[in-house]
Amino acid sequence: MARKSNIQNMIGSLLSQISGEIARGVTQGIERSGLLGTLKKAASVSGKTKTGGKKRGAKKKKPTNCSVKGCNLPARTKGLCTKHYQQKRYAELKKKGTDKTPVKRPARKPAKKTATKTKSIKKKAADKKVKADRGNCKMAGCTNPVHARELCGRHFMEWVRSRKS
């Protein structure tokens, strides 16, 4: 292993001195500002003991099984597993007359495909007729239908781009 040069030793000692000075400056700044007491109070309030460990809460109970005979599933609510709790809940709702079970609705009949096709074909034909009524593009040699400002879509966009620059 190569030996450290004198420069490397000097740099290492300077860095350790600088880090020590920074640490001292930070602690002095905290003490002067009064934050040290606040930080200690916050640490004690946040649930930590004097030794730094967390306080222990109540011990967890062992999971119990469902109270229904023959059911070995873990109890969740009111001593029942989720399955038996929901059964009991819906039974009570039915007794009250506020059954919240989904209502089955009759299935809708599928729409006739031919009717929609004819409507769309008629609509497209009407659109073409309206465009034809507008006339053709005013640019020389262009026979495309008018889109805006008496220009077809291509020439209109060229006009828009020329105005931006």
76 Cβ contact list (under 8 Å, min separation 6)? 82, 85
Instruction: Give CA–CA dist 135/132, Å, rounded.
Output: 6
pLDDT(3) > 80: no
136 — phi, psi (to 5°)? Answer: -105, 165
pLDDT(76) > 60: yes
Give the tens place of pLDDT for each residue, 107-116.
Answer: 777 666 655 5
Mean pLDDT, rounded, for 71-98: 85
Cβ pair 145, 134 in contact under 8 A: yes
Tokens coding 30: 């905290």
Q: What is the mean pLDDT of the chain?
A: 76
